[in-house]
């Protein structure tokens, strides 16, 4: 039986090894090591690893399936105890003196429930001898690294290694977490460091690294790494597809996408259906109807069957080009292929229609959506928020609430920004009040948008009111906003001296300093 994990910190050891690798690999190359001694990482595990989200986006997704039981009746008591001990000055004593019994499933659930608070999550991890579990360790590595506690994560990996647990998934998680904070050097060093743990950085791990770098916008670095290591990892379609996806769907750089497409031909790499899908998606988003249709025809001639993603891209670019009949015919072709239009297909029509102000046509598509039992998505409603007037915004806010999809804070941010950019501060203030009616608390971002744009509308009194409220609600003072108030024109008389709080009244809402 493997020895229990100790979680002693030897990060300096890892740090020195990483820096050593950095010196040996200044050109972003990897050491030449044997491939094949370890079984390849499954595509499912790869997807789970590279689909993790950045903490900066405030999105937390489990790196693998744990089947968390958050309804465990003993979980609330355990969480309360963990938080109490975490905020105590004598954590070690509290940890050992407690008689609370926690099994592996409860520990997993506690770590996940505390994923936004790394200290009590770490206490849950160290609670008792159930730590000698690969999945529990991987989860704690992810939580620690997501909070930037990379040294703690490395300590867990070291103890996993000493306890004869596989560290492969943990290393891939570290690669993803470094990439999520745009530390591409450490992500690549971690990949190179895998052999230290007797792991082979094989083709699947190589693809995981490329995908992680691209996912967070470091596509150029990923492409350079791929080309520099083409002797160890021969160039093939899948690697190029990862890079193509980065340029086409993440950074949306059509110039770079075209260049990579040419390089595929240069290296005698044959594009597959996925390659065409990425390129058509890129041209579609750019409104390039000619190249979208050209690649679609070329794809079919080469024997690749278009998937629903390609048809959705064509529907979007045709609608954007005001070719509504052709877009509808494309949906018919989709059905002829045995595929069923989904919310993404109809959104591909609604989005460009709303963008171009063709709300009547967009409403027809929306009605069709409802009639055919295709559920509208958050994206559907947000498209209408971009294009409708004040009454239309209220209508779709209500529809969104009835559908159970919100509205959320992003929904109101879209509407507020729209009215403020259109120089309609009165409607923006009304929507602000409406947000509170939906029991949503404005964030610092909402306040900053309101203050900045109200100043641009020369509603200085209102802007100052919101700025003071923003500070009183715990948001930090913003030098940029302070500078904006220097644009304020002195106003004389009683109106210039009116109390800031009176500015929120309906009467003051119509008052605009010119």
CB 393 within 8 A of CB 363: no
Q: Which of 315, 405, 292, 415 is nearest to 365 (CA)?
A: 315
Distance of CA 152 to the CA centre of its chain: 24
Instruction: Tell me the CA distances in angstroms from 425 to 420, 450, 456, one per residue in order.
Output: 6, 9, 10
pLDDT, tens digit only, all 514 positions of the chain: 444 444 444 334 334 443 443 333 433 333 322 223 323 323 333 333 333 333 333 344 555 555 666 667 778 888 888 888 777 655 555 555 565 667 778 888 888 888 888 888 888 888 765 557 888 899 999 999 999 999 999 999 999 888 888 889 999 999 999 999 999 999 999 998 888 777 877 899 999 999 999 999 999 999 999 999 999 999 999 999 999 999 999 999 999 999 999 999 999 999 999 999 999 999 999 999 999 999 999 999 999 999 999 999 999 999 999 999 999 999 999 999 999 999 999 999 999 999 999 999 999 999 999 998 999 999 999 999 998 999 999 999 999 999 999 899 999 999 999 999 999 999 999 999 999 889 899 999 999 999 999 998 989 899 999 999 999 988 888 888 888 877 565 544 444 334 334 444 443 444 343 3
Could you tell me if 98 and 85 are in contact, meaning their C-beta atoms sit under 8 angstroms apart? yes
Question: Half-sphere exposure of residue 391, counting CA atoms within 13 Å on the CB side?
Answer: 0
Judged by DSSP in three states, 41 sits in coil
Query: Are the C-beta atoms of residues 188 and 198 closer than 8 Å to each other?
Result: no
Backbone angles phi, psi at 295, to 5 degrees: -70, -35
User: Reduced to 3 DSSP states, what percent helix, strand and coil does the chain have, rounded to the nearest 5?
Assistant: 65, 0, 35
Give the predicted TM-score (pTM) of the model: 0.75
Which residue reads 């050593």 in tokens? 20
Q: For 270-352, CATH number?
A: 1.25.40.10
DSSP assignment of 351-418: HHHHHTT-HHHHHHHHHHHHHTTPPP-HHHHHHHHHH--HHHHHHHHHHHHHHTS---HHHHHHHHHH
- Helices marked H in 201-272: 203-215, 219-228, 237-245, 254-266
Contact (CB, 8 A) for 362 and 383:
yes
Query: Where in the chain are the domains?
Result: 270-352, 405-477
What distance in Å separates the CA atoms of residue 327 and residue 333, rounded to the nearest whole number?
10
How far out from the chain centre does Cα 83 lie? 28
Alpha-carbon gap, residue 391 to 407, rounded angstroms: 16
CA–CA separation, 219 and 212 (whole Å): 9
Under 8 Å between Cβ of 250 and 217: yes
Three-state SS for 93?
Answer: helix
Tokens of 99: 């008689």
CA triplet 437, 443, 448: central angle to 5 degrees? 115
């Amino acid at each position: 039986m493997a020895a229990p994990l100790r979680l002693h910190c030897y990060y300096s050891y890892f740090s020195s090894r990483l820096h050593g690798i950095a010196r040996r690999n200044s050109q972003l190359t990897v050491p030449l090591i044997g491939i094949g001694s370890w079984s390849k990482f499954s595509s499912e595990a790869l997807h789970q690893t590279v689909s993790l989200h950045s903490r900066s986006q405030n999105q937390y997704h489990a790196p693998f399936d744990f089947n968390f039981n958050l309804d465990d009746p003993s979980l609330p008591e355990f969480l309360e105890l963990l938080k109490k001990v975490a905020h105590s000055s004598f954590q070690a004593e509290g940890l050992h003196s407690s008689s609370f019994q926690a099994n592996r499933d409860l520990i997993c659930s506690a770590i996940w429930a505390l994923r936004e608070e790394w200290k009590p999550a770490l206490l849950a991890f160290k609670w008792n001898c159930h730590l000698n579990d690969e999945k529990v360790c991987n989860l704690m590595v992810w939580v620690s690294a997501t909070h930037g506690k990379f040294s703690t994560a490395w300590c867990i990996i070291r103890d996993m290694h000493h306890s004869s647990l596989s560290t492969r998934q943990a290393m891939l998680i570290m690669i993803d977490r470094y990439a999520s904070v745009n530390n591409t050097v450490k992500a690549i060093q971690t990949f190179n460091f895998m052999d230290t743990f007797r792991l082979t950085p094989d083709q699947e791990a190589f693809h995981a690294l490329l995908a992680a770098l691209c996912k967070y916008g470091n596509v150029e670095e990923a492409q350079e790494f791929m080309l520099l290591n083409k002797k160890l990892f021969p160039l093939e379609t899948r690697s190029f597809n990862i890079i193509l996806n980065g340029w086409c769907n993440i950074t949306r750089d059509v110039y770079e996408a075209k260049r990579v497409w040419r390089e595929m031909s240069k290296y005698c790499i044959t594009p597959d259906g996925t390659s065409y899908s990425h390129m058509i998606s890129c041209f579609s988003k750019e409104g390039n109807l000619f190249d979208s249709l050209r690649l679609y025809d070329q794809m079919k001639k080469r024997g690749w069957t278009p998937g629903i993603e390609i048809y959705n891209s064509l529907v979007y670019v045709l609608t954007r080009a005001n070719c509504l009949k052709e877009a509808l015919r494309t949906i018919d072709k989709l059905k002829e292929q045995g595929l069923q239009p989904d919310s993404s297909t109809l959104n591909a029509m609604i989005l460009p229609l709303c963008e171009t102000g063709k709300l009547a046509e967009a409403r027809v598509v929306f009605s069709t959506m409802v009639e055919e039992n295709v559920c509208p998505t958050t994206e559907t409603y947000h498209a209408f928020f971009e294009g409708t007037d004040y009454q239309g915004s209220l209508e779709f806010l209500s529809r969104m609430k009835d559908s159970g999809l919100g509205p959320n804070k992003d929904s109101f941010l879209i509407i507020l920004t729209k009215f403020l950019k259109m120089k309609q501060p009165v409607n923006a203030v009304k929507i602000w009040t409406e947000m509170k009616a939906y029991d949503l608390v404005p964030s610092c971002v909402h306040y900053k948008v309101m203050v900045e744009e109200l100043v641009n509308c020369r509603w200085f009194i209102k802007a100052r009111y919101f700025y003071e409220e923003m500070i009183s609600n715990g948001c930090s003072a913003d030098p940029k906003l302070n500078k904006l108030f220097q644009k304020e024109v002195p106003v004389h008389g009683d109106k210039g001296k009116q109390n800031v709080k009176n500015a929120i009244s309906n009467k003051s809402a119509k008052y605009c300093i010119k």
